[in-house]
Amino acid sequence: MRGCTLRRIDFMKLVSFSGIDGAGKSTQIDSLRNYLEERGLKSKLYTFWDDVVALRSLREDISHTVFKGDRGVGSPEDPIHRRDKNVRSWYVTLLRFFLYALDGASLRIAAARIERTTDVVIFDRYIYDELANLPMQRPAVRLYTRLLLRVVPKPDLAFLVDADPEAASTRKPEYPLEFVHHNRNSYLLVSQLAGMTVLPARTVEETAESIRKLVDEKWLRGRGASREVKLRNADANFS
């Protein structure tokens, strides 16, 4: 075992990826999971909408039947017109206050049920993505956001994958460009309140490299070196 470095994480870590539609979150999640697997670390992926959100089917039906929005995911070849988070009337905001509080409670339950045999749990979107749908310029909304953030689990690393709204809308045409600009600004405000790590709009590989460096610095490099020293000391005692 002399000179062997074991890369281990002492406690399970939670990572979240947030950002406007078309920012490239899924690509970065896949890249990180491959990177962790190469280092012998187990990761598990949770999708916030599928695995956490309360009353999901009802909310999808409301979006389609009440707001008359399209279903599915938009693409450059097949753009769609969704009407859900871009509906911003005052009564919808009040409804979101209630639903997001339910989602916060659901998130606490989901986090408590995660098996501790996993090294890194990755969330594709998080409560932050919902909060970015609120009119963050209003003091009452920011107060609500602070209160909700105090009761939900805080990720060890919360990434905001920033993107140019025009480029993101081209990749995933689902909402009016004006809304995408507004939504990006809300994400930046949420990131300040939540203490997120903002990844500037760069190439896919540059962003992936930034993520790998942060993971190395926070969890792998120091712990791996510390573990290596212990192993070498143990070898010395038996030699």
Q: What is the pLDDT of residues 41-65, one digit of tens each?
A: 999 999 999 999 999 988 888 888 8
Instruction: Provide the pLDDT for residue 224.
Output: 45
Confidence class for position 232, pLDDT limits 50, 70, 90 = very low
| Low-confidence winner among 45-59, 62-76, 165-179, 217-231 (lowest mean pLDDT) | 217-231
Q: Could you give the residue ranges of the DSSP H alpha helices within 52-202?
A: 56-65, 90-112, 127-131, 139-151, 165-171, 177-194
Q: What are phi and psi of 170, to 5 degrees?
A: -70, -40
Nearest to 79 by CA among 196, 175, 7: 175
Could you identify the residue written with the tokens 């209160």? 147
Residue 9 carries which DSSP code? -
Which CATH topology does 14-226 take?
Rossmann fold (3.40.50)
* Ranges of each domain in the chain: 14-226
Which residues lie across from 43 on neighbouring strands? 120
List of residues 6+ apart from 192 with CB closer than 8 A = none
- pTM of the shown model: 0.87
- In a 3-state reduction of DSSP, which class is residue 198? strand
Q: What are phi and psi of 45, to 5 degrees?
A: -105, 130
Quick one: tokens of 29? Answer: 């999640």
